[in-house]
Amino acid sequence: MKILPVKIVLTIGLFMSICSVSFAQKDNSDDPEKVLQLFVTEYNADPHRFFDSRIPKDFRYTNAEGLFSFRESVVKGAEGRSSTNSEVSNLKFFKSGDLIVASGIHTFGGNPVAFTYTLQKQNGKWMFAASHHTAQKAQK
């Protein structure tokens, strides 16, 4: 049996620990901006997968037209949707323990909506507890 040189073992060990720490912290960040950016990144990559994995059974959503929906219709409505390109801006956060309330502007395909998102950490994972969109009107 051949013994690996100490430098190689240390390098492999260091690489593995860095990878495991970075992957482990990805969803465990309590920084509201990082949590929201993680959500936007996941949503943009695969909207259906995002909704299916990030919204709990008691999720509520109000769209910009005032239509109120629950988890089932939101997940079903995202079926077959491919990746998208959306972005958030004008952000404001309120955080208390395992609850984050984020507000700002979420732009989907050039169409901005004002949003209020409620994020809640459940069993160590941040979930999208509630979402409210309001249509934007041109300012005079």
pLDDT digits (tens, 9 = 90+) for 40-81: 999 999 999 999 999 999 999 999 999 999 999 999 999 988
Distance of CA 58 to the CA centre of its chain: 17
CA distances from 127 to 11, 13, 22, 100 (A): 36, 32, 20, 10
Q: Which comes out higher in pLDDT, residue 132 or 81?
A: 132
Stretch 100-121: mean pLDDT, rounded?
96
Has residue 94 got a pLDDT over 50?
yes
Per-residue pLDDT band for 29 (boundaries 50, 70, 90) equals: confident
SS3 2: coil
* Global pTM value: 0.77
CA proximity to 119, closest of 105, 100, 106, 136 = 100
7, with CB counted inside 10 A (0-12, 13-18, 19+), is: exposed
**Backbone torsion region of residue 110, taken as left when φ is above 0, otherwise alpha when ψ lies between -120 and 50, otherwise beta:** left
CA proximity to 114, closest of 125, 124, 104 = 104
pLDDT at res. 140: 65
Per-residue pLDDT band for 137 (boundaries 50, 70, 90) equals: confident
Per-residue pLDDT band for 19 (boundaries 50, 70, 90) equals: very low
Per-residue pLDDT band for 107 (boundaries 50, 70, 90) equals: very high
Stretch 15-19: mean pLDDT, rounded?
47
